[in-house]
Amino acid sequence: MPSYKLTSFKGRGRAEVAREMLYLVDAPYEEERVHMDKWPSHLPGPDHSDVPMLEVNGKKLGQPFAIYRFLAHELGFAGSSPLEAAQIDSLAEEHREYEDEMDPLMAVLFGYSKGDKAKMVKEVGEPARDRYFPGLEKIAKKHGRSGHFIGISLTWVDLLIAEHVSLIDHFFPGFLSDYPNVMKITKKILETPRLVEWAKKRNENH
């Protein structure tokens, strides 16, 4: 098995989906947690300043979605066929566009920038939600019986969406109440026994 090292900030953040995939298959890995005030000086050179970063046998890979895709293909979370993998990628890109819109709100929520949280929810969160979640709700309704957003087995886009939805539902209860099928699939994903184990371990250690 390859040697994996994950460099990430404290907290769940954008490395969490990678951690989940590694834990789900019991793949050993080393993790180094970096304080925000030590980045990017902690990692020398412009090619090595991405956080999170995955090292595979000493070779560095930055950018969270590149990390997710790599691990998904290596560990079995990339779908059952090339077409399914492409459908997963397509949905993941839509989700990334939505998260990019949400970034100013999340920065205020986690204290990285200043702002009125309630105002940001109205001006940033709700428009972003209303552009993305109606389409995701249709996908969830169509595939609801499988308990996954794409296909019939757990994939990295399931983990990506469930991680974000659980975070939003925790900090903004009711924000996603108009999307019951999304919430239903998210609940089922989070009830995966190994993810339940990981959540307990994560909460104890981080």
Residue 85 has pLDDT above 50, yes or no: yes
Tens-place pLDDT, residues 88-130: 999 999 999 999 999 999 988 887 788 888 999 999 999 999 9
Mean pLDDT computed over 59-88: 95
Q: How far apart are CA 195 and CA 188, in angstroms?
A: 11
Please name the residues in contact with 104: beta carbons below 8 A apart, sequence gap of 6 or more. Answer: 113, 115, 120, 124
Residue pLDDT, tens place only, 43-70: 444 444 577 899 999 899 989 999 999 9
Supply the pTM of this predicted model: 0.90
The Cα-based distances of 55 to 17, 60, 62, 77 in angstroms read 16, 4, 9, 19
**Spatial contact of 107 and 113, defined as CB atoms under 8 Å apart:** yes
pLDDT for the residue numbered 46: 44
Average pLDDT of the chain to the nearest whole number:
89
> CA–CA separation, 178 vs 63, rounded Å?
32
> Percent of the chain having pLDDT more than 90?
69
Residue 180: per-residue pLDDT: 96
